[in-house]
Amino acid sequence: MKNKLIEDVDCSKCPYQILNNFDICNAAYDFYQSAHFLNDNKELYYPKISANNVVAITVNISFSCELFLKGIQKILGFKVPRGHDLFDLFTSLDDRLKTMIINIVACDYEYETGSRINEEQFLKSLELVKNWFVEQRYWFEHDYGFDYKGIGFIKKICDAVMLLANATIDEQLWFKISVSSMEKQRAMMKHIDQTVISKMIEQNNK
């Protein structure tokens, strides 16, 4: 989408009204890119994460994930939920979307570690990081540490939702995910049911 300047838009309206159905995902992508920029533009792969910027990276990737989970709802014509809790946002998705996201993330782990995660492991991991956007912004108020392995998990959910969003638009406008190889990306994309995506858009926009 062509970049607009504040002076070129009607700022009496909410910024979301200035853009289109991809406005939330576009904002999510900005935070996704910011997290990677803070990590020297390297893939967020634990433990190869900048210790100097780990809090800012965590806040950015967590907020990115929140917005992607909300953005895919808007793209597909569902009501956009409120709140920051990643677990609640994920479980509010259509069951077919949840299945696709879990399978994409599982495929990502298989390429990375040689083994897939199942639904139970996915939900357990999500439960551990569900409030990171809030908690990491005020890390100094907590007397406990954080297991930053969760950064990579959150990033994988972002990648999965971006691939789902890509399935609804022209290839030239695709979000570019940060993965180690095109082979891996193609394997992840095989878990997207294009027919289901198209039906959701059709049914929710009648």
Q: What is the pLDDT of residues 31-53, one digit of tens each?
A: 999 999 999 988 888 888 898 89
* 97 in Cβ contact with 168 (< 8 Å): no
The C-alpha angle 38, 40, 42, rounded to 5 degrees, equals: 105
Cα separation, 86 vs 70, whole angstroms? 10
Q: What angle do CA 111, 114, 120 make, to 5 degrees?
A: 95
Cα(202)–Cα(205) distance, rounded to whole angstroms?
Answer: 5
Q: If you average pLDDT over residues 144-164, what whole number do you get?
A: 89
Cβ count within 10 A of residue 97: 23
In terms of pLDDT, which residue wins out, 102 or 184? 102
Q: How confident is the model at residue 160 (pLDDT cuts 50, 70, 90)?
A: very high
pLDDT score of 20 more than 70: no
Global pTM reads 0.87
Is the pLDDT reported for residue 17 higher than 50?
no
Mean pLDDT, rounded, for 100-109: 95
Please determine, for residue 16, whether its predicted confidence score (pLDDT) is greater than 50: no
- 3-class SS of residue 56: helix
Please name the amino acid found at residue 26: N
Provide the mean pLDDT of the chain: 86
Tell which wins on pLDDT, 156 or 180: 156
Determine the longest span between alpha carbons in the chain, in angstroms. 52
pLDDT at residue number 102: 97
Q: Do residues 59 and 79 touch, judged by C-beta distance below 8 A?
A: no
87-101 pLDDT per residue, tens? 999 999 999 999 999
What's residue 172's pLDDT? 66
pLDDT (tens digit per residue) in 123-149: 999 999 999 998 888 877 777 667 788
Return left, alpha or beta for 29; rule: phi > 0 is left, psi -120 to 50 is alpha, else beta. Answer: alpha
12 vs 65, which has greater pLDDT? Answer: 65
Residue 4's pLDDT is 59
Burial track 170-188 (b if 16+ CB lie within 10 A, e otherwise): eeeeebebbbeeeebbebb
DSSP type of residue 78: P
**Strand extents, DSSP E, 68-118:** none
Q: What is the dihedral of CA 191, 60, 15, 20, to 10 degrees?
A: -10
Domains and CATH numbers, the chain: 10-197 (1.20.120.330)
